[in-house]
Amino acid sequence: MESGGAVQSRHSNRPGSGRTSRRRTRRAPQPRYSAGRLLSKGLTKADWPKVWRHHDLKPRYDVVIIGGGLHGLATAYYLAAYHGVRNIAVLDKGYLGGGGSGRNTAIVRSNYLTPEGVRFYDRSLKLYENLASELNFNVMFSQRGHLTLAHNDGGLRTMRWRAEVNKVQGVDSEVIGPEEIKKLVPSMDTSAQARYPILGALYHPPGGIIRHDAVVWGYARAAAGLGVHLHQETEVTGIDVRHGRVTGVRTTRGDIATGTVVNCTAGWATLISEMAGVEMPVTTSPLQAAVTEPVKPFLDTVVVSGTLHVYVSQTDRGELVFGASVDPFTSYSVRGSLEFVEGLASNVLKLMPGLSKMRLLRQWAGLCDMTPDYSPIMGPTSVEGFFVDVGWGTYGFKAGPVAGEAMAECISTGRTPQIIAHFGLDRFRSGRLVGEKGAAAVGH
């Protein structure tokens, strides 16, 4: 951006500099949601106030976050709530939660494979456990337990490995046998005659599912309450960089001057980073999912089979949610395919033959920003003031809270917090990859 006053000194550009304490600054000034208010609203039939408002685009923000999914909104919330940075814009080309954050299958767990990964995702799980009270919004977190099946010796070996890495970090995770599996999921075919007999499973009791839209809306409401501007239908078309430093963002609704830009655009992340001249080892592939008609509750754990490329859970409404591996080629298209449904149905029936009469209600796809090691890319880049929080692949919803918390700290203090230190963009140059494929490829 060429207009005067856009570029300031490095220090005044850094939001919240000097305010590094992680103290909660102020509660959301919105009316609190409570049983009492629900009752009184019900009796008076008064309207609930709007949860976030439309704003004109200001010519200048301290921080511009691109992408109004969970990651962008959580980053905005933690910046505003814990670091005193309030002059923030979150820009989305569509609507809040219209990307992966509104399309995922909402599995939350922390039984990953690497110590760096386990520590990181477990912090997120802990934040999720308290999120409803933190945001004063019911996010319906159901910690119903998570099973990753092993159908062969290689699979079982990985499960044992993961269980040990998990236990060392204090994460509840163990390998169980077919009999225990049958007790947890009576509808599953655990017989030796199954096409892919089940030898065991990694059982992770604190894992479960959450209401993904509620998480997005909860963060959006809380951030808006702290003064963050949420701009929907505002597409970023360019990023201005001068002398190696970010100076502004161009959008379909006008230009913004800013010294700090955060890329939280997941499937579109390389397009945004390119605007700032930053190259990333990220490719975009669709991931599909499907849901059945609702039936009586019969499945109260999440079941994943890497061998069969399928996983299933039952929502509170009784629908079965199915997911699979990422599509076999890169694409920005979110059209569902018949191949996916056919493969999915045949694999699900190998696990749970009793489902053969169930009907699928819908299928959909979302875009995933895949990295070579199935770990995210977070932190500063070679362009000063340009931060990335990307590479969330098929597994980034569970990471939203910890990513927001860590990115907020990184941006406001100018230092990369320890918990994300291994996820820097420079790891692909130094060769220090954080290989999570064995724990993230199908299980998400």
Partner 1 sequence: MMQLPCPWCGPRNVTEFRHHGPHSPRPEVEPASVEQWHRYLYLQENPCGPVEERWYHSAGCRRFISITRDTYTNATQPGEHP
Ligand X SMILES: Cc1cc2nc3c(=O)[nH]c(=O)nc-3n(C[C@H](O)[C@H](O)[C@H](O)COP(=O)(O)OP(=O)(O)OC[C@H]3O[C@@H](n4cnc5c(N)ncnc54)[C@H](O)[C@@H]3O)c2cc1C
Which residues lie near ligand X (CB under 6 A)? 66-72, 91-94, 98-101, 103-107, 235-236, 264-268, 272, 287, 289, 323, 366, 368, 392, 394-398, 444
Q: Given the rule CB under 8 A, which of 51-59, 139-147, 228-236, 275-283 is the region that contacts partner 1?
A: 275-283
State how far the Cα of 102 lies from the Cα of 326, in Å rounded to an integer: 17
Sign of CA dihedral 177, 183, 188, 191: positive
Using only the alpha carbons of the chain, give its radius of gyration. Answer: 22
**What's the rounded Cα separation, in Å, for the pair 197 and 176?**
14
In the complex, least distance from residue 395 CB atom to ligand X, rounded to whole angstroms = 5
Q: Which of residues 300-359 bind partner 1 (CB under 8 A)?
A: 328-333, 335, 337-339
Q: Return d(Cα 310, Cα 327) in angstroms, integer.
A: 13
> If you search the block for the tokens 């992680």, which residue do you land on?
22
Angle (CA) 28-29-34 rounded to 5° is: 80
Residue 279 interacts, among ligand X, partner 1, none and using kind-specific CB cut-offs from 5 to 8 Å, with partner 1
Instruction: Give the E-state strand segments of 338-432 in sequence order.
Output: 360-370, 377-380, 386-390
- State which amino acid sits at residue 343: G
Strands 146-150 and 200-204: antiparallel
Residue 333 touches which member of partner 1, ligand X, none, C-beta under 5-8 Å by kind: partner 1
Instruction: Choose the binding region for partner 1 from 118-126, 243-251, 281-289, 347-355 (rule: CB under 8 A).
Output: 281-289
Nearer to partner 1, 167 or 335 (CB): 335
The residue (of 224 and 367) whose beta carbon lies closer to partner 1 is: 367
Closest to 394 measured CA to CA, from 419, 416, 374, 414: 374
Q: Give which of partner 1, ligand X, none residue 283 binds (C-beta under 5 to 8 Å, depending on kind).
A: partner 1
**Closer residue to ligand X (CB): 178 or 208:** 208
337 binds, among partner 1, ligand X, none (CB under 5 to 8 A by kind): partner 1
Which of 307/331 has CB closer to partner 1? 331
282 binds, among partner 1, ligand X, none (CB under 5 to 8 A by kind): partner 1
Contact between 282 and partner 1 per CB under 8 A: yes
The residue range among 130-138, 246-254, 264-272, 305-313 that interacts with partner 1, by the rule CB under 8 A, is: 264-272
Stretch that binds partner 1, among 4-12, 57-65, 273-281, 346-354 (CB under 8 A): 273-281
The conformational region for residue 172 under phi > 0 = left, psi -120 to 50 = alpha, else beta, is beta
CB atoms within 10 A of CB 396: 24
If the CB atoms of residues 190 and 270 are measured against partner 1, the closer one turns out to be 270
Q: Report CA torsion sign: 141, 143, 147, 148.
A: positive
* CB closer to partner 1 out of 279 and 316: 279
Give, in degrees to the nearest 5, the angle at Cα 55 between 33 and 99.
70
- Residue 98 contacts partner 1 per CB under 8 A: no
Residues in contact with partner 1 by the rule CB under 8 A: 268, 270-271, 279-284, 328-333, 335, 337-339, 372, 428-429
